[in-house]
Amino acid sequence: MDGLKVVIFGASGNTGLCCTEAAINLGCEVTAFVRDPEKLPESIASQVTVKVGDVLDASAVDEAVSGQDGVVILLGTRNNLSATTLMSEGTKNILAAMDEHGVKRVSGCLSAFNFWERSKVPERFLPILEDHERMLTALKASNQEWIAVLPPHITDEPGQGDYVKEHGSGPGRTISKYDLGHFMVSCLSDDANLHQLCGLCDKPDS
């Protein structure tokens, strides 16, 4: 992926930092879009182009997307499970900017609950799931080469560097934030992932 120009939205989040570091290690030219640049460690900030803005600000998003080869969407609300439109509205701004600038490839992080029957999802997660559903609808309706990544519970465990991936189903209960971050950017270079719902999980102990 040497030289691939990638902008990462949500680059200062738990998984976002892992993804940004993975993108650097894969040889990408990285733009980190963040609300608070103080949340980017200097070791990362010194190796990327930092764009400070709000994903709900269409002009800031447009500027960040211009000139890129690919986009990674890692928007989230951390531990806040309240109803929101942040992720879906932010995604719509990103997709509009991609249309404007002819950027085609995008990966978006949602939730393994998108695989589940709604009646089986724990009630406390339903408000967040509703916005992930709107986000997925926006990706599917776009003209982009989208990849929807639907992780299960994200842990702080060290990355294995190898993990299980399935298209169309969730293969397991947990995934390391390091492995998820790596996949969010590496999946952009594999055409087999295009227009797929990608489930991930840690490899089981042998």
Q: Give the pair of three-digit tokens for residue 74.
A: 């890692």
Identity of the residue numbered 67: G
- For 179, residues 6+ apart whose C-beta sits below 8 A from its C-beta are 159, 160, 161, 162, 163, 200, 202
CA–CA distance, 114 with 161 (Å, rounded to integer)? 25
- Please state the pTM of the whole predicted model: 0.96
CA–CA distance, 130 with 128 (Å, rounded to integer)? 5
**Beta strand extents in 46-176 (DSSP E only):** 49-52, 70-73, 105-109, 145-150, 153-155, 163-167, 174-176
28 is annotated as an active-site residue? no
In the chain, what are the domains? 5-202 (3.40.50.720)
Name the catalytic one among 18, 19, 28, 187: 187
109 is annotated as an active-site residue? yes
In Å, how far from its chain's centre is CA 6? 12
pLDDT in tens, 33-87: 999 999 999 999 999 999 999 999 999 999 999 999 999 999 998 888 999 999 9
- For 60, residues 6+ apart whose C-beta sits below 8 A from its C-beta are 33, 51, 53, 54
pLDDT of residue 95: 98
1: pLDDT confidence band, cut at 50, 70 and 90?
A: confident
pLDDT of residue 77: 87
pLDDT in tens, 149-198: 999 999 999 999 889 999 999 999 999 999 999 999 999 999 999 999 99
Name the catalytic one among 28, 109, 198, 201: 109
pLDDT in tens, 95-143: 999 999 999 999 999 999 999 999 999 999 999 999 999 999 999 999 9
First-last CA distance in the chain: 31
pLDDT of residue 206: 52
